[in-house]
Amino acid sequence: MQEDQIKTAIIREKALVAKYDNRWPLIIGEIGQPTSEVSEEEQARLARVLYTETTKNKIPVTWYYWSDERMPKDWIWSGGNANWGLIRFDGTERPIFNAIKEFLK
């Protein structure tokens, strides 16, 4: 399950930081799950899992693309787009926006 992959990746990366006594903190600078691969509800659920785990581990995280409108035109796939954003092309919020809003304070 993707939840296990998220938790395992965090554990693995934290171990690497500790092993090499890295002076810089662990940061997830770009992550996402497009709704071209999962439903909007599943995207929101996975984001909630991710943000819960990163909050517990004090790891800053940036979701890949705030809005679909910001997607590079060459990433737009047949049928519309890849749907990475928290905001749809029409400006409406996806369920993921509300799922992670509490973590964005």
pLDDT value, residue 71: 61
Instruction: Report whether 62 contacts 29 (CB < 8 A).
Output: yes
Burial profile 46-73: b = 16 or more Cβ within 10 angstroms, e = fewer: bbbbbbebbeeeebebebebeebeebee
Listed residue (73, 90, 92) closest to 82, CA to CA: 73
Instruction: Report whether 33 contacts 46 (CB < 8 A).
Output: yes
Kindly report the average pLDDT of the chain as a whole number: 85
Percent of residues, the chain, with pLDDT higher than 90: 50
- pLDDT tops 70 at residue 72: no
Angle between helical axes of 40-56 and 2-19 (0-180°, round to 10): 30
More confident residue, 64 or 27: 27
